[in-house]
Amino acid sequence: MAYVAFGGGEPLGVPHCWELLERLSGAGIALKLETDGSHIDDAAADRLARLDALCVQISVDGATAATHERVRPGSSFAGTVTAIERLVARARPPQSVFVPNRLNLHEMLGAYEHAQRLGCEAFVTGPMMRIGRAAADWDRLACEEPEWQRAVLALEASHQARGPEMRLCVYPWDIVTEMERRLESPQAMLLIVPNGSVKLLNALPFVVADVRRDSLAHAWQAYRDGWKAQEVRRFVSACRSRPALLGHANECWPLEAPQRPCGSVSM
């Protein structure tokens, strides 16, 4: 199935987002959406229900308002819960997404139970990815691996005891493992950032095409070729011992350019 997934920042905060969503849906393309729920009022919930999105994921990073709002400054826990309730009431239950860190790991099981009570379709979690703001504050926020594994075992035990009313999805890889795996088996998915650049993966800075000027056919071939580039392989190989390189994830480096900060990873 062909689909387009919109992620954050906050896609529903973009003025022309509904035009894009409705045009794609009208063309028979399925939609996936990641949101913090802050823009899902009754009118937006009605529009999402009409679009019949394949998947709507709403970030809920705690079982209590205090924890969720500490992890997501400026967010409203009550508003997020109301957004979920609106979609559930329209028979479009969303997925609840929980990003674990030192501030909220103690509430992961509670967040799972809360999502089930709200009627969410799935609870989605996995290791916090060392990119973006998480990379900048990694030493303060990252969970220790044993703590994370204990929390996952408790989550899986609760899920087995409660039955299959709500799916549990625990992503198995951290971001470095993800990159290493994708070198050998890339996803059949283009990552297009707001400026039109086509990148290989959210953790990689390399740009292989630009949809403002290139056709999708060209971008798709450039994406396939990009994963074979030695420069990409050198970068990925260096990230395990030099994780600070992940701080470049939000940058855009044309893959064919001869010079860029990546020169520091030369082998």
Q: Is the pLDDT of residue 266 over 50?
A: no
Model pTM? 0.92
Q: pLDDT (tens digit, 9 = 90+) per residue, 247-262? A: 999 999 999 644 444 4
Q: What is the mean pLDDT of residues 193-222?
A: 96
SS3 of 103-148: CCHHHHHHHHHHHHHHCCCEEEECCCCCCHHHHHCHHHHCCCHHHH
pLDDT of residue 258: 43
The pair phi, psi for residue 50, each rounded to 5°, is -70, -35
Q: What is the pLDDT of residues 221-230, one digit of tens each?
A: 999 999 999 9
Cα 33 to Cα 9, 38, 92, 139: the distances in Å are 11, 13, 13, 30
Q: 95 φ, ψ to 5°?
A: -100, 140
Q: Is 198 helix (H, G, I), strand (E, B) or coil?
A: strand
Environment class of residue 158 by beta-carbon count within 10 Å: exposed (0-12), middle (13-18) or buried (19+)?
middle
Burial 227-262 (b: 16+ CB within 10 A, else e): beeebbeebbebbeeeeebbbbbeeebebeeeebeb
What dihedral do alpha carbons 124, 129, 75, 194 form, nearest 10°? Answer: -100
Domain 3-172's class? alpha beta
Q: Please state the domain extents for the chain.
A: 3-172, 177-265
Task: Name the residue type at position 228.
Answer: K
Q: What is the mean pLDDT of residues 225-254?
A: 96
pLDDT score for 259: 43
Give tens-digit pLDDT for 63-117: 999 999 999 999 999 999 999 999 999 999 999 999 999 999 999 999 999 999 9
Using pLDDT thresholds of 50, 70 and 90, give the confidence band for residue 267.
very low
Average pLDDT, the chain: 93
Tens digit of each residue's pLDDT (9 = 90 or more) over 31-51: 999 999 999 999 999 999 999
Neighbours of 66 (CB within 10 A): 11
Q: What is the reported pLDDT for 52?
A: 87
